[in-house]
Chains A and B, each alone.
Chain A
C-alpha cells in the first residue's frame, strides 16, 4: 500500500501526498488551477457539461505505447491520474530559442479564427489535440464527436470544426512523438513501483486497489464506502454539493475489470470498461447499444464513465438500462463469501462467490438495485441476439447530444409470420425506475404487427406510465413521446 500518487506533468514525475491543501477528492482541475503555470484550464460548470476544463491524459496501452484521451478534469479526483501523463494546453507550446511555437491544432485555431472570447478555447484545443493524437481516419462525424463535449457560446462552432479538419488532415511528428520513449520509460517506472493506493487523511479514506480480490475485500470491510470508477456521477457530490466523501473505493486501477471477451453465445464486458470502449466494441456488432452510446454524454464523459458505473447507479433515466433490458443482458456480481466454495481453485484466499442477475430483475426501486452492499459489479453480459430479433434504442432529449434523456426506449421484437412472438418495451425517464410497458407488451404478444395493433398498444402505453413534469419536460410530452416511440419502432421494423 502507498499513500502518495505519481504522475507526469511538465515532462517530470510528480509525486503528490495528501494534506489540507490536496484531498484525495481534490479534482485535477482544482489542482492545476492552484499552480502558477497551469491556469489555462478553466472551470465552466464543474459538472462535465461544458468541457472548458478538458485536459489530455496519456497512458500506457497494452503494447506499452501511449494512448491519448481527453478528460473533463473537473470530474477527476487526483488519485485517478496515478501512473498517467497529464497534459495541459500550456504543454502544447514549444519554445525554440525563446520563440514560441504553437502546436498544429493551436495554429489551426488561430488561422481559422476559432476563438472569440477565448474562455472555452483551451478546452477545445485539448479535445482537438486528443483527436490529433488518435490518428484515426478523419471524418466530419469524428470531428464533431470529439468536440461535442466542448461548449462555445461565441463562434457558432464552424471555424472550430474547420480548424480541427485542417490540423488533423495531416498529422505531423510533434514533440509528444519525439518524447514518447522517455515518457513511456517514466510511466513504466511508476507502474513497476506502484502498489495499491491507500490514502488516509483521518477525514477521508481513499483506496485504489489493483485487483478484484483486493477490491472485494475492501468492500467487505467498508460496506458504506462509495464505489467509483470514472466517478462522472459521484464527482458531482463533491464539486456541486460540497460533500466530504469519507470512504471511497476507486476501481479504476484494476486491469481485470477492463477486459472484454466474446464467445459464440455472448459478449462479456468488464464492468470497468469505459463506455467509449464499449461503444467501439458495439459498433457493427450490437447496433442498438452503439446507438445508445453514440448519443451518451460526450467523448470526454464516455472515456471516463464505465459500463459498470452506469449500471450501478441505477438511475431512473440510466441511459444504458433500457437497451440492456431489451438485450436481456445479465449483470455479474461478486462478493467475498465465508461459506461459498472458492471460485478459482488457484486462489486460496479469499473465497469469492459470483451470481448473475438478469437486467430485467435488477432494478428494485428509485436508485435501488439487486446489488447487495458487499457486492461489486464485475461484468455485464449481453447474449448474442438471435438473428431475427430486432433491437432498437431511441432517446428523446431537449438537445440531441450531451443531454440526459427526457425519456428513452430500449425495444426488442421477434416476429413470426409478421406476428409478435416476443417483445420488450423498456422505458427510461417514464417512472421512478427504468420500467417495461407491461400492458402494451402483453397486448402485443401474438398479434399481427400492423398499424392498427400498434395504435391500440400506444393507448396502453399511456396506461402503463404516470410520468412526472420536471426541468426537462412536462408529463404530457413524456406520454406523447413514449407512445410515439412505439410507432417509430413499428415504422422501422414493419
Chain B
C-alpha cells in the first residue's frame, strides 16, 4: 500500500474550497438561530418574558421548554440533561430560550428584549466542595488486584500525596454548528458538526417527537472536534432542529467563539490522591489511587471517562498490589465531556507524578525507576484489571529512545548547566504511554459500511465514521483501494450520512479506522466474491478449455485476473457492466465487531481492550526562574502505530497530539470566578500553543517492524495516545524546578504548569532552602 498520500481534502483545504457547514449556500429563507443561556451557575427561574422579543420584526420564533414537541431530554447515557431549562438552571451557559431570526443582528436585538428573572442559589464550583457535600454522579467504582493494605505494611518506603489536573477547552477551530433543512411532513435533514451522527439523529427525533426514519444527519467534515463533538455537538443540532420545526424554514446555529467556550463542557478536572509503598530500588509494591472527577452539572460521559481514568491509573507499570477507587461528582459547571484521551491523561498523570516522586526520594534518575516498573514481557504483564499486556513494546521503545535521544549524556550536561546558572535551570524527563484501544462499553465496538460500485468502475464508500481532520477518510480510501485493487482516483469516500449507514457508534476512542476500516473491508470482500464468480464464468465462456474458479480471481492494479492463468485478465472498469448485465448487485453493506473482548464493569475485571498502543517521549526544557517561562529545547518521540497505513498522517497525529497535550500541561488554564462564570472564554485569555511553543528541536519517529495482528492491515490506532507524550515536558519542567533545591525537596506542582505555578513552586523551594 503506498503509504503517504496527502489528506484526501488537502487540495481543497489549501484552496479554501473545503466546505464546512457554515459555508453552505442556503436559499434566502435561511434563519439564524441563537441560544439564550443562563447567566447564573445555579438559580431558580422565577419568570420568563418572551412576548416583546416575539414581536420584533424579523423574528420568526422564540422558544422555551414549553415549545418542545417531543421529550425535553439530551442526556446521552443518563437522562439528566434537559434541552431547555424548565424552572432551574444548573450552570452558566445552560440553554433557556431559542430564537430564530432573519439575521444575527435581529437575533441579538431580540435577545435583549427577553427578560429572565432569577433567584440565585448557592453554586458548587469545585471538586473539593462537591466531595464534602457528597454530590456523587454515580456509585464509587473500584478496580483492584492483590492486597494493597497488606503490601503497604511491609513496604520499606511510603509516599503519599495528591495531584490536581485542570480542565481543558477543546478549542476546535470550527465552533459547534448545525444547519437544519425541513423536508416533507415531519422530515428533517440536519447538517451537523458531530462525531456521532446516529446519536444526533436520535436526539433530534426525541426532542421533536418524531421517528428516527424521519431524520437524516449528514457530516462531511468537521473543523476539529477532539471529543468536544462526541455528545456536545448534539446541542446545536437539537436547538436548530427545534427552530427549524417551529418555523418550517432552514435554520443554522453557528456558535460564537465565546459562547461556545462558555456553554460547552471541557476535559474533566481531577483531584487524585495516592499512597504508595516501594522498595529501596524503587520497585512499587503497593499503590492506591483515589480519583475524584468534576463531572459538571450532568452525567454526560463522565462515568465512562472515569472508567478509562481508572483503567489507565497504572500508566505503563506493573504494580502487584493495586487499588483504584473512582468517583465522579456533580458541580455547577457546564457538563464536562469527552476530550482526546478520555480520562486516560488524568489517570496517567498521577502515576507519572508518583514515579517522579519515588525517583527524587531515592535520589535516582526517574527514567531508571520507570524502566524498573514497566510491565514485563513474559511475567509481570497482567494489569490491575486482569488484562494481559500482549506484544509489549515498552522495552524496545525505551531502549531505542534512550539511545537516540542521548538521554544519559544530556542528563550530565544538564546537571553541569544547573550548577553554574543561578537564574536558569534545565530539566529533562522520559515518560511512556500505554493506551488501551476499544470502547470500554463493549457493545459500542461495532461499525458499518456501504460500498457501491458503479457501472463505470468508480466506487463510492460510505462508512459510519466521521472526518474531523484525523485523516480517517484518507485511510479508508487507502484501505478500499488496496482491498479492491484499484487506484485511489477511482474511489470516493462519501460524507457520513445516517441514511447510508445506520446505528453507528461515535467516531471516538481512537477506533475510527480500526472499526470502520474493517467494516469497509467486509463490504468489499462480499463484493469481490460476487464479482469473482461473474469473472470466472466470463473467463470460462471465453476459453472453455480452461477451468476458472472464483477463489482464484484476484484484484490488483485496476485489473481482475486469474492468479493461475494471469493472462486471463480484464480491466476493473470493464468488468462492472458485465456484472450488472448478469443481474448481480454491485452494492454491499459491511459490518464489523471487535472480537474477543469482554469487560465486567461490576467486578472491574476482564479484557476491555483489543490491544494497547505504546509510545515514549524524552523532553528537555530550560526554565527562567525569575519569570516562570520555559522553553521546550528538544523533544524526541518514538511512537507505535503498528504497520502505518499512512506515515505522514500518523506523524501528524502524533505531533499534533503531543502539542495538544502540551497545551493542557502548560499554558491552557481554565478558571471560573466565584459565581461560576468562565474567566477564560476567548483566545484572548485562553492560550493554546502557538507556532512559537513547539520544541526548538522536534524529532518524531514511528516504531518500525511492529505489526499489530489485531487491526486492519496490521495498523494501530493513533489519535489519543500521543496526547499523553506531553507528560515528558511537564515533568521536565518539574525536574528543572527541582534543580533549584538540588533535587533534595519535592516541588509543589500541578497541571497545567503555568508560569504562575512554576514561579510559586520555585518560591516555595527557596523558602525551604533558607530554613
A177 contacts the other chain (CB 8 A): no
Q: Are B9 and A153 within 8 A (Cβ)?
A: no
Q: Which of A40-48, A360-368, A383-391, A412-420 contacts B (4 or more CB under 8 A)?
A: A40-48
Q: Which of B44-52, B341-349, B684-692 contacts A (4 or more CB under 8 A)?
A: B684-692
A119 contacts the other chain (CB 8 A): yes
How far, in angstroms, from A142 to B213 measured CA to CA in the complex? 55
Question: Who on chain A is nearest to B13 by CB?
Answer: A118
Interface flags for A223-259 (1: CB within 8 Å of B; 0: not) read 0000000000000000010100000000000000000
Interface set, chain A 441-469, CB cutoff 8 A to B: none
B248 contacts the other chain (CB 8 A): no
How far, in angstroms, from A102 to B629 measured CA to CA in the complex? 40
A residues in contact with B683, CB < 8 Å:
44-45, 47, 49-50, 151
Q: A41-B16, A47-B684 are in contact. Are A117 and B222 (CB under 8 A)?
A: yes
Interface set, chain A 468-488, CB cutoff 8 A to B: 470-474, 476-477, 480-481, 484-485, 487-488
How far, in angstroms, from A406 to B225 measured CA to CA in the complex? 30
B residues in contact with A394, CB < 8 Å:
627
A401 contacts the other chain (CB 8 A): yes
Q: A49-B683, A118-B221, A120-B173 are in contact. Are A491 and B423 (CB under 8 A)?
A: yes
Question: Who on chain A is nearest to B629 by CB?
Answer: A400
Q: Are A154 and B224 within 8 A (Cβ)?
A: yes
B149 contacts the other chain (CB 8 A): no
Q: Which of B72-80, B463-471, B492-500, B529-537 contacts A (4 or more CB under 8 A)?
A: B463-471
Total residues of chain A contacting the partner, CB 8 A: 77
From B173, B221, B627, A153 is in contact (CB under 8 Å) with B173
Q: A158-B694, A480-B759, A491-B423 are in contact. Are A485 and B173 (CB under 8 A)?
A: no
Interface set, chain A 15-70, CB cutoff 8 A to B: 36, 38-47, 49-50, 52
How far, in angstroms, from A156 to B25 measured CA to CA in the complex? 32
How far is the CB of B445 from the nearest CB of chain A, in Å? 25
A88 contacts the other chain (CB 8 A): yes
Q: Are B693 and A400 within 8 A (Cβ)?
A: yes
Q: A40-B15, A396-B755 are in contact. Are A117 and B224 (CB under 8 A)?
A: yes
How far, in angstroms, from A488 to B424 measured CA to CA in the complex? 11
B669 contacts the other chain (CB 8 A): yes
Q: A116-B470, A120-B173, A477-B759 are in contact. Are A144 and B223 (CB under 8 A)?
A: no
Q: Are A487 and B626 within 8 A (Cβ)?
A: yes
Q: A110-B10, A154-B469, A471-B680 are in contact. Are A102 and B15 (CB under 8 A)?
A: yes
Q: Are A47 and B174 within 8 A (Cβ)?
A: no
A residues in contact with B360, CB < 8 Å:
none
Question: Who on chain B is nearest to A21 by CB?
Answer: B103
Q: A116-B470, A159-B652 are in contact. Are A125 and B694 (CB under 8 A)?
A: no
From A38, A50, A116, A477, B756 is in contact (CB under 8 Å) with A477
Chief secondary structure at chain B's binding surface:
loop
A280 contacts the other chain (CB 8 A): no
Q: Are A110 and B760 within 8 A (Cβ)?
A: no
Q: A116-B656, A158-B698 are in contact. Are A144 and B684 (CB under 8 A)?
A: no
B residues in contact with A88, CB < 8 Å:
16
Q: Are B16 and A113 within 8 A (Cβ)?
A: no
Interface flags for B12-25 (1: CB within 8 Å of A; 0: not) read 11111111100101
Q: Are B627 and A396 within 8 A (Cβ)?
A: yes
Q: Are B14 and A125 within 8 A (Cβ)?
A: yes
Q: A144-B691, A399-B667, A472-B685 are in contact. Are A119 and B10 (CB under 8 A)?
A: no
Q: Are B652 and A113 within 8 A (Cβ)?
A: yes
Q: Are A477 and B760 within 8 A (Cβ)?
A: yes
A residues in contact with B671, CB < 8 Å:
471
B88 contacts the other chain (CB 8 A): no
How far, in angstroms, from A109 to B7 measured CA to CA in the complex? 11
B residues in contact with A152, CB < 8 Å:
173, 691
A292 contacts the other chain (CB 8 A): no
A residues in contact with B224, CB < 8 Å:
116-117, 119, 153-154
B235 contacts the other chain (CB 8 A): no
Q: Are A157 and B759 within 8 A (Cβ)?
A: no
How far, in angstroms, from A109 to B15 measured CA to CA in the complex? 10
B120 contacts the other chain (CB 8 A): no
B161 contacts the other chain (CB 8 A): no
A155 contacts the other chain (CB 8 A): yes
How far is the CB of B496 from the nearest CB of chain A, in Å? 15
Q: Interface centre among A93, A110, A144, A400, by most B CB within 10 Å?
A: A400
Q: Are A89 and B15 within 8 A (Cβ)?
A: yes
A115 contacts the other chain (CB 8 A): yes
From A49, A52, A403, A488, B423 is in contact (CB under 8 Å) with A488
A334 contacts the other chain (CB 8 A): no
B residues in contact with A93, CB < 8 Å:
15
Q: Are A119 and B629 within 8 A (Cβ)?
A: no
B residues in contact with A160, CB < 8 Å:
691
How far, in angstroms, from A491 to B424 measured CA to CA in the complex? 12
B578 contacts the other chain (CB 8 A): no
How far is the CB of A446 from the nearest CB of chain B, in Å? 25
How far is the CB of A153 from the nearest CB of chain B, in Å? 5
A residues in contact with B258, CB < 8 Å:
240
Residues of A at under 8 Å CB distance from B?
36, 38-47, 49-50, 52, 88-90, 92-93, 100, 102, 106-107, 109-111, 113-122, 125, 144, 147-148, 150-161, 240, 242, 394, 396, 398-404, 470-474, 476-477, 480-481, 484-485, 487-488, 491
16 A-B pairs besides A119-B223, A157-B691, A491-B422 with CB distance below 8 A are A39-B19, A49-B682, A90-B17, A113-B4, A113-B651, A115-B469, A116-B7, A119-B224, A122-B13, A144-B691, A151-B173, A398-B756, A401-B690, A473-B756, A477-B755, A480-B763
10 A/B residue pairs, CB under 8 Å, sorted by A: A50-B173, A50-B683, A113-B648, A116-B656, A117-B172, A118-B10, A156-B657, A156-B659, A396-B628, A398-B685
A-B pairs, top 6 by smallest CB distance, nearest first, are: A40-B16, A117-B469, A119-B223, A118-B13, A156-B659, A49-B683
